[in-house]
Amino acid sequence: MMGALPAIFAGNRKQADDFIEQLKGYICLNRLIPGMNSFIQRVALALTLIQGPLVAEWHKNVGEWIDGLTLNDDVPAVWDHFLDEFSTQFQDSQRSQ
């Protein structure tokens, strides 16, 4: 693996945008490594970096969703859905557009 993993995201909305951008950069940098082309694996990686009491319930729900997916479900929409859910839950809806 190349590059540094993003810092743990513990629910601070001010850090949400940076966390996602760092995560996307890490995945892009490592896209040729086996597993990084799996959208389910990308979400699983993200979940390992989302920890703490403020995110625990959301983490559990997303983890259960991922656990229920099969190889046939490993499509770009999985990653897009994760990003949408993360944005809805944690990114600052009040920030200037």
What mean pLDDT is predicted for residues 63-81?
Answer: 97
Mean pLDDT of the chain: 92
Q: What is the pLDDT of residue 1?
A: 74
Of the chain, the percentage scoring pLDDT greater than 70 comes to 94
Q: What is the pLDDT of residue 97?
A: 46
What mean pLDDT is predicted for residues 60-75?
Answer: 97
Task: State pLDDT tens for residues 3-35.
Answer: 899 999 999 999 999 999 999 999 999 988 887
Name the phi and psi angles at 73, rounded to 5: -90, -5
Residue 9 pairs with which residues in a beta bridge?
A: 50
Q: What is the pLDDT of residue 3?
A: 87
Instruction: Give the span between the Cα atoms of 59 and 65, in whole angstroms.
Output: 10
- C-alpha of 79 from chain center: 8
Instruction: Give the span between the Cα atoms of 15 and 21, in whole angstroms.
Output: 10
Name the phi and psi angles at 71, rounded to 5: -55, -35
